[in-house]
């Protein structure tokens, strides 16, 4: 069995390049031109394109796509190692062509789209000429497709979509919306009449689809195939979120440790106080465990499929939200009052933790899924007593040794002596 935690030197060089590139180029762009990637200004777009061209020259563009879908085919494990860097910088995923929600919608298009649909939407999405949003959740049903009501009715050479969607992230600034209906997945240009985006929430939009008409060829994949497409999108999306969450946790941890060595309290640096040390130690262990879990799950996907790794993907999803919450909370406390302001990333990081526990399906649903899947590998014990019931174990063990006891009475006497000793202790 091969078991290796190392990274081949050639790929480590790529990781080192990504790290330097994000520090030297991506982060400065963020501070001078916030949200530059979505800017329509030609000069700012030229700055972004210059960085993206460097990424493409390194063969690191659209990392999430396999080769058969038009990507570099690095696999999920290597993507995880790169995302551990990208997740530290808000605009880095878009600079590398790996930003949600476009990654998920591109994967659906690549896997299920017709050649015409790929030409019309996939390539412009990959080139970031357009942006997308995923319109799934509904006010009355959350993310449970069995409770959805949004429906597409065929009318001649058009589909007529009627319904209401809640928490369509980035819907307000998207060019196309992927709308999950009870009878299929549909691509809807945002400017289509009847697409009514409500003023609140500002970033995760409430959208009312009022008899929205789209051509028949705007159905993505088979009719009634929305659930299959959604699982293809969400499975990958969840593990990608977890990869980037590791970067956020590491950032919080770096800030925590730096602060612990920089401030004094009661005559010594705060890193010498046991309660601070406890927070640092627990945060370190949580991050390490999450990282190993995420990378192992990514490895499983590479060697099987997203479907085969679905239990671990679900477990990673709710684990990442908890670790982000705990680590950012610890870092915020060690930072002190400054951590409660918007002058460092900590406040936004801690505020985002509950969202991570809800996005792509609430944690409670994923925990129930994991429990059900895990229990499929077990069977109820026979009779009253569990498998690890000591008296039954001892009886079975003595039965196994009986032939030896018949041949060697002295050995039987020794065993009976041990039995009396154990009975006396009990």
DSSP string for residues in 351-408: HHHHHHTTTTS-HHHHHHHHHHHHHTT--PPSSSS-TT-HHHHHHHHHHHHHHHHHH-
pLDDT tens for each residue of 30-40: 999 999 998 98
Mean local confidence (pLDDT), 215-222:
97
Q: What is the CA radius of gyration of the chain?
A: 27
Q: What are the Cα distances from residue 138, in Å, to 16, 224, 357, 361?
A: 42, 18, 17, 12
Mean local confidence (pLDDT), 273-299:
97
Measured in Å, how far apart are the chain's first and last C-alpha atoms? 43
Q: 132-220 belongs to which CATH class?
A: mainly beta
The pLDDT score that the predictor gives to residue 143 is 83
Residue with tokens 């009719």: 223
Query: What are the structure tokens assigned to 136, written together?
Result: 């799934």
Helix (H) or strand (E) holding 13: helix 9-21
The answer to which of 73-82, 234-243, 396-405 has the lowest mean pLDDT is: 234-243
pLDDT tens for each residue of 355-398: 888 888 889 989 999 999 999 999 999 999 999 999 999 999 99
Mean local confidence (pLDDT), 166-187:
96
The pLDDT score that the predictor gives to residue 307 is 86
Q: How many CB atoms lie within 10 A of CB 365?
A: 15
Q: Which one of 1.10.540.10, 3.30.450.80, 1.10.357.10, 3.40.50.300 gives the CATH number of domain 9-113?
A: 1.10.540.10
pTM value is: 0.88
Determine how β-strand 132-135 pairs with β-strand 176-181. parallel
Superfamily covering domain 227-375: Butyryl-CoA Dehydrogenase, subunit A, domain 3 (1.20.140.10)
The span from the CA of 360 to the CA of 233, in Å, is: 10
Average pLDDT, the chain: 93
Percentage of the chain modeled with pLDDT above 70? 99
Q: Strand order of the sheet with strand 132-135?
A: 132-135, 176-181, 184-189, 219-220
Query: What are the structure tokens assigned to 251, written together?
Result: 């950032």
Query: What are the structure tokens assigned to 103, written together?
Result: 């990654």
Query: What are the structure tokens assigned to 334, written together?
Result: 């060690």
Percentage of the chain modeled with pLDDT above 90? 82
The pLDDT score that the predictor gives to residue 71 is 74
List every span in the chain annotated with CATH 1.10.540.10: 9-113
The string of DSSP letters for 197-257 reads E-SSSSSEEEEEEEEEEEEGGGEESSTT-HHHHHHHHHHHHHHHHHHHHHHHHHHHHHHHH
Does residue 293 have a pLDDT over 70?
yes
Does residue 161 have a pLDDT over 90?
yes
Q: Closest Cα to residue 73, out of 87, 83, 62? A: 62
Higher model confidence: residue 327 or residue 365? 327
Determine how β-strand 219-220 pairs with β-strand 204-215. unpaired
Higher model confidence: residue 278 or residue 66? 278
The pLDDT score that the predictor gives to residue 235 is 64
Higher model confidence: residue 326 or residue 73? 326
Contacts from 334-338 at CB under 8 Å and sequence distance 24+? 334/256, 334/259, 334/260, 334/270, 334/276, 334/279, 334/280, 335/255, 335/256, 335/259, 336/259, 336/263
List every span in the chain annotated with CATH 1.20.140.10: 227-375
Query: What are the structure tokens assigned to 105, written together?
Result: 């919608």
Does residue 174 have a pLDDT over 80?
yes
The pLDDT score that the predictor gives to residue 396 is 93
Q: What are the Cα distances from residue 50, in Å, to 45, 47, 56?
A: 9, 5, 10
Is-contact 171 197, C-beta < 8 A?
yes
CB-based burial label for 157 (10 Å; 0-12, 13-18, 19+): exposed
Does residue 57 have a pLDDT over 80?
yes
List every span in the chain annotated with CATH 2.40.110.10: 132-220
Mean local confidence (pLDDT), 272-296:
97
Mean local confidence (pLDDT), 124-147:
91
Higher model confidence: residue 306 or residue 279? 279
């Amino acid at each position: 069995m091969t078991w290796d935690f190392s990274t081949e030197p050639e790929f480590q060089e790529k990781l080192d390049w990504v790290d330097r590139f994000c520090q030297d180029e991506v982060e400065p762009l963020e501070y001078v031109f916030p949200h530059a990637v979505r800017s329509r200004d030609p000069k700012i777009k030229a700055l972004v394109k210059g960085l993206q061209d460097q990424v493409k020259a390194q063969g690191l563009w659209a990392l999430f796509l396999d080769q058969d879908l038009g990507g570099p085919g690095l696999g999920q494990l290597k993507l995880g190692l790169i995302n551990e860097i990208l997740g530290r910088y808000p605009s880095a995923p878009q600079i590398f062509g790996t930003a949600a929600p476009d990654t998920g919608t591109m994967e659906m298009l690549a896997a299920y789209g017709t050649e015409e649909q790929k030409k019309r939407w996939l390539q412009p999405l990959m080139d970031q000429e357009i942006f997308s949003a995923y319109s799934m959740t509904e006010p009355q049903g959350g993310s449970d497709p069995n409770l959805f009501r949004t429906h597409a009715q065929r009318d001649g050479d058009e589909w007529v979509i009627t319904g209401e969607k809640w928490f369509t992230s980035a819907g307000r600034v998207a060019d196309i919306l992927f709308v999950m209906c009870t009878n299929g997945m549909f691509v809807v240009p945002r400017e289509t009449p009847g697409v009514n985006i409500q003023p609140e929430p500002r970033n995760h939009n409430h959208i009312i689809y009022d008899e929205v008409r789209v051509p028949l060829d705007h159905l993505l994949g088979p009719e009634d195939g929305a659930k299959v497409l959604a699982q293809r999108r969400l499975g990958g999306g969840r593990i990608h979120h977890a990869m980037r969450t590791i970067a956020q946790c590491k950032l919080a941890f770096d800030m925590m440790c730096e602060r612990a060595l920089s401030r004094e309290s009661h005559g010594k640096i705060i890193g010498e106080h046991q309660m601070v040390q406890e927070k640092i130690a627990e945060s370190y262990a949580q991050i390490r465990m999450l990282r190993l879990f995420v990378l192992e799950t990514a490895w499983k996907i590479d060697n099987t499929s997203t479907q085969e790794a679905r239990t671990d993907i679900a477990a990673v999803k709710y684990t990442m939200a908890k670790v982000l919450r705990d680590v950012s909370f610890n870092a915020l406390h060690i930072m002190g009052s400054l951590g409660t302001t918007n002058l460092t990333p900590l406040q936004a990081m801690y505020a985002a933790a509950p969202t991570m526990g809800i996005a792509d399906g609430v944690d409670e649903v994923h925990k129930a899924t994991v429990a059900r899947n895990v229990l499929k590998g077990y069977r109820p014990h026979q009779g009253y007593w569990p498998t690890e019931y000591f008296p039954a174990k001892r009886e079975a063990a003595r039965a196994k040794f009986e032939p030896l006891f018949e041949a060697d009475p002295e050995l039987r006497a020794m065993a009976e002596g041990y039995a009396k000793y154990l009975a006396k202790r009990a």
